[in-house]
Structures are given as structure tokens and as C-alpha cells.
Structure 1
Amino acid sequence: MAQALKLEDLEIMRTLGTGAFGRVKIARVKATGEFIALKSLKKQHIIRTKQVDHVASEHHILRITNHPFLVNMKGFCQDPSYLYFGMEFVPGGDLFTYLRKVGKFDSTQAMLFAGQITLMFEYLHSMNIIYRDLKPENLLISADGYLKLTDFGFAKIVEERTYTLCGTPEYIAPEVLLNKGHYKPVDWWTLGVIIYEMLAGIDPFNDDDPMLIYQKILKCKYQFPRNFDAHAKSLVKHLLVIDLSKRYGNLKKKAEDIKRHRWFKNLDWNELVNKNIKMPYVPFLPSAGDTSHFVDYPDSYSNAPALNSAHDPFINWNS
């Protein structure tokens, strides 16, 4: 259960990543020695870009979710300039960096990662949460080699459909581009993109021009490279489908159609979710709090001291 944090109880260290609203730093809890990832969000920028509802939604979703393949929230606080989310520190870096380093994965490794993503979405969708921003940068690698999904800024609890245009160009589902309303199937489309990218080393709709990317997506125009695993190709074809009535994950059996696909024939799903399968890649971590798997970022600002947030009206942490 996430608790209130106090910045003075933390030793805030180097930056792990940056984004439009702020940055993520590694921090050590002074009393326990535990390392966490401290995500700071600029209030002024959030208000100016009218993202208050998105941030409140992210905070709520982080509080109500708990799954071995999701990054868990440890605590939260705020000061006059920033909101702070204390998150589980995942030391192995992100899947994007690892995939670019090795080029592409073999079928077994891609299948194990895809299986974990399938379980992430099955869990989130059971709570009517759509994620909407799956990409390798948002998949972190744990010390045991398993994945953790992070960055819930675009995630949303939806009962039927929503119309917000959001996501990363190469991964956006066609129904989002058409602005006719979208729902859980968007996540299964992105799973298809990720499977293709893990096995080919490049995403299926790649282009330097975003508009051409969108055109390819709307036409579902892509080609498989030679030596692409035949079973994985079959699953990708069932996921990258414009017709929602035919897209795997959105049929009567929902995620079961994906889990029962022949690419996953030899996968024990219970062993996977319980982390009893040894991962093909386990990051080398010489010490607790090791950050060698993250890119170096310059520190452009220092964190202000924490104030008592009980009367700060910006966000009600108890809602």
C-alpha cells in the first residue's frame, strides 16, 4: 500500500530518465536503505497543458493496481512546485535499450516477454483499465530478468470507449487515429507491434515521417522479414487487424485466444506469473542501487524541500 513520503527522508541521487513533465531519479530511503525511483512532475506544466485529470488518473490507477509485472507505487508527496511519485526501482534498464543493444530476440525470448505483456493487459483489462502507451521504453527489466510495465500517464479506467488521441506514433492503433472511439483492443494491437519489433528489430510501420506511419497503420501495411518465426507471424496477423470483431484479445474468449495460440504452446502460464521460469537474460547488477543500465542525464534542477502537503489543493491524495 502506497504511503505518504517525505523528501527529507530520502537521499535523492542521479537521474534515470526524463519526460515532458519532469524526471525520474533514484533515491535511497535513509531509514531502511531501500532504493526507489522518484518521479517528479512539474505542477506548472501539468496545469498549463491541462493534464491535471491525466495525472490524477495515473495516481489513482497506481494506488489500486498490484501485479508482479507492473511497477508498484511506494508512496507520494508534493511541494509548491512538484508532485512526487515514489515508485519501485527496477534496475535492469528498459527493453528499448536492451533490444537496440542485441538487435533482435530469438523466438523463445520474444515469446516469454510477449507472455508477460499478455498477462499485464489481462490483469489491467479485468479492472477496465486501458494502458494505451505500450512501447519498449515503458517496459523495465527487473533484477530477475522479468518485465515491469511503467508510466501510466495515458492509462485510463474506461467502461465503454474513450476518444482521446494519445500514444506513440509507431504503436497507435488505427481506431485511435480514426477518432471513432477506442477501448481495450488498442492494447492488443500494440502487443502485435511489440512482438513484431522484438523478432524483427524494427517496428512494422517504421518511417521517418509520422504521417506516412499513420498511413501505413490505417492500411495495415507491413511486411515480415525472412526467417520470422511462423507461429509468431500467425499471432501478429491476428493482433494487427483493423476489424475489431476479428482482433485477438477482443473476441469472446478475450485474452484466452492469445494464451492458447500455438506460439505459446509450451508456455506454462502459472509458472510464468509466479516467476518460476528462468529468463534468457538477467541483467548484471554488481550492487544494490546499481544504475549502470540507465543512460546518463544531466541534472538540470535540484529538488526543493518537501512541505506539508495536507492543505495543498492541487490534488487530493486520498481520493
Structure 2
Amino acid sequence: MSDEKLHKHYSDFENILKRAKKDFELKWKEDFKPNSKLSEFSILRTLGTGSFGRVVLVKRKSKEDELYAMKMMEKSHVVKTRQVQHTLSEIRIMDAVRFEFLVYLEYFFKDNVYLFLVMPFINGGEMFSHLREMKKFDETLAKFYASQVILAFEYLHFLGLVYRDLKPENILIDVDGYIKITDYGFCKKVDDQRTYTLCGTPEYLAPEIILSQGYNKSVDWWSLGILIYEMNAGFPPFYAREPMKIYEKIVSGRYQVPQHFSKALRDLIHNILQVDRSKRYGILKGGAKDVKGHEWFKSIDWEGILSRKVKPIYKPRVKGSDDSTNFEYYEEEPFRVSDKDEYSEEFASFNSDIVPIQRGPNSILRRSVAVTS
């Protein structure tokens, strides 16, 4: 993209962000209440499971052609892990965000046992699955995905949000080949304040998180550097069997660069994976412009990406809107039921202000790794 077109993009996108912030703040202040119920949906199959519960594919009974991904969170687990306010914040954020490359909340409700978050069904599957199958992405495809992550981060950061859990498992690919970032479990409204919570994924943690230095949006730009490296290499730059070994490598800032990385790619990663935040691209005076204007992104049409007019070089294999074959098979388990409304006091109201999350124990997950602080 020429300098003139890039400058116009910056100007136009800033206006878009200003309007988006007004919309977000209005939505954020609105009373938040359940807007559906389980009986309105037919459950088809499990799409994924995790420490939070499970995600299932559902159809809306009134409109059989409408498919959704429904996240089920057991209230008892949320309470026992002291994540009530954390979870309420996640739901409120998912309800208020509206951006092309972000998953958003369609419906929310609860029953005696679970909280239910209903989102659009993105049937291309997780980026992680495609990366595992392809071993690594070529630079053109990695650049295409990274550009959408950057635009999404600019949007979130402009709203005062820090995402904190970027990884291929949290990026879905839609039927057209574009991405949708999902899972706001660690997303937090910080505005210009610092936060100290240890949360994220070991391989993707920024040094300032590990060192308990207090941080803001800098950690998202670090995770972008990790993602760009992993997409192009097929593995993250800092890896070890033990989390503590991973942390030692991250804090040292030393990593090996695969020989097939182009000169521009090497330079971009070097400038993002800076342990010294005063040198890290994304949070310098130029902000995101330093990243978007880098030589590696020179061929990117930012306006075309934002308007989804750029034709992807790769699309997931999808047979139809109800095709869920891009997700792994899981043994179905019966839902837990109860005649009593469990933890009714803890989840009595969803229209009060969210209390800021204090430093405390949070799960850190990366595939099969779990660490707590």
C-alpha cells in the first residue's frame, strides 16, 4: 500500500474507531439481562471442551437454519475458582463489542446449573487445527491473518480493552477465509491503567506479566509477535516442557529464527519481541502505525482487509452452513441438572456495574499445560 493510501486508511479508520467507541460505551452502560432460554435451542453436538465447561453446536428452534455456538459454564465451577466478576466482565465485553474480526454475543441466559453464552457459529474451525495440518503457513497467508488481528487489537485498545489471550486456538476461520477472534475470558477494561494479573498462555506471556511489573496493552503486541512467529514457523519462539523454563526464555528474550523467514519478517519480529517496552513496536509513539507501516506489511491493502474485499488464498473445507467437521469429535456427556437454583445470590443480577478484577488466582492454559498464580 502506498504512503498516501496508508495515510488515508489511518484517518478513515480513526473515524471508524471513534464511532465504535461511542457505540461501545452506550452498550456498556445499558442494563444487561438474559434475552433467551435453553428451551429455544436444539443441541446438536459438542464442538469443544475446556476448564470453563464446553461449547456445543445449537439450532434455534424457531429458525432451523440459524446455527450458533453455545458456551456452557457451570456456575459452581465459576464460584469455586473465584471467577464470578471475571466471568460477568467477559459476558459484558462480548455483548458490547462489534467488529468484523471479533466474535460477539447473540444471546445470554442461565438455568439452575449453567450460564449460557450463544455466539455465531464459525464453521471453518480453529486456526490451530489448520496450522497443525499445514505444518506452517506461508508468509502471504500469515500476513493476511496478522493484519486482521492488528485491526482487531486497534479496535479493542481504542475501547480501553486489553485482550491478553491471543493464540491459534482462540482464532476461528470463517467460511470465506477471514478470521474471528473468540474467547474473552482474560479480556479486561483497563483504559490507561495498569493491571498486574498473571493470566494468559505460557508460550504467549509477555515478560512484564511474568515479572509482575504491571502492564497494559503492551502484552497484546508481544503476543502478536509470538503469533506471527508461530504461524510462519509452526511452533512458538519460546518453548520448553516446563512452564518455568518457558518463562526463563521469555524474560531473556533470546530465540532462534528459522532460516526460511524473510529479512522483513525477521526484522518485524525483532521489533515486536522486545523485552524492553521502550523499544517494542505497537506501543511506541507511532502506536500501531509502526507495525502496519513495516516493510513486511507493505503489500497489505488495509482498507480491502477491513471491508473483506481481499480474496483469501486459503479457505477451510466447508460443505454447508451446518458442517461442523472442522471441529474435533468429542464424546457427548449428559448435562447436569438441579431442582435448585445454584448460587442464585452470586448470579442474581447482570445489570450492575462490573467490579474491577483484583490480582488473584487465574488459570493459564496452553493446550495440555495448566499453571496457576
Fold shared, TM-score > 0.5 on shorter chain: yes
Contact 1:79–1:307 under 8 Å retained in 2: no
How far does the alpha carbon of each residue in 1:17-58 deviate from its partner, in whole angstroms, 9 at most, with x for none?
Answer: 111121000000011120000000010011001011110110
Pick the aligned partner of 1:205 from 238, 243, 246: 238
1:271 corresponds to 2:304: yes
User: Could you tell me how far 1:67 is from its partner in structure 2?
Assistant: 0.3
Equivalence map 1:23-34=2 (5 Å)? 23-33=54-64, 34=66
Give the distance between the partners of 1:210 and 1:301, measured in 2 at CA. 34
Pick the aligned partner of 2:77 from 45, 51, 56: 45
Amino acid at match of 2:41: L
User: Could you tell me how far 1:255 is from its partner in structure 2?
Assistant: 0.8
User: Could you tell me how far 1:304 is from its partner in structure 2?
Assistant: 4.7
Match of 2:231, SS state, is helix
Pick the aligned partner of 2:68 from 16, 19, 36: 36
Pick the aligned partner of 2:322 from 284, 289, 297: 289
Match of 2:277, SS state, is coil
Q: Which runs of 5+ in 2 are unaligned?
A: 1-26, 353-373
Contact 1:8–1:306 under 8 Å retained in 2: no
Match of 2:164, SS state, is coil
How far does the alpha carbon of each residue in 1:264-317 deviate from its partner, in whole angstroms, 9 at most, with x for none?
Answer: 1111111101110111111121122111000011122326599999x8751533
Which residue of 1 is the match for residue 21 of structure 2? none
How far does the alpha carbon of each residue in 1:229-258 deviate from its partner, in whole angstroms, 9 at most, with x for none?
Answer: 211111111110011111111011211111
CA RMSD of aligned residues (A): 1.9
Contact 2:202–2:247 under 8 Å retained in 1: yes
Q: Give the 4+ runs in structure 1 shifted more than 2 A.
A: 300-309, 315-319
Give the distance between the partners of 1:280 and 1:305, measured in 2 at CA. 49
1:274/1:308 CA distance change after superposition, 3 Å: farther
How many residue pairs match? The answer is 318
Q: Which runs of 5+ in 1 are unaligned?
A: none
Identity of aligned residues (%): 45
1:302 corresponds to 2:341: no
User: Could you tell me how far 1:170 is from its partner in structure 2?
Assistant: 0.4
Which residue of 1 is the match for residue 259 of structure 2? 226
Give the distance between the partners of 1:182 and 1:38, measured in 2 at CA. 32
Give the distance between the partners of 2:71 and 2:167, measured in 1 at CA. 19
Contact 2:44–2:56 under 8 Å retained in 1: yes
User: Scaled by the length of structure 2, what TM-score is found?
Assistant: 0.82
Give the distance between the partners of 1:108 and 1:63, measured in 2 at CA. 33
Contact 2:112–2:338 under 8 Å retained in 1: no
1:305/1:142 CA distance change after superposition, 3 Å: farther
1:267/1:307 CA distance change after superposition, 3 Å: farther
Amino acid at match of 1:79: D
Which residue of 2 is the match for residue 16 of structure 1? 47
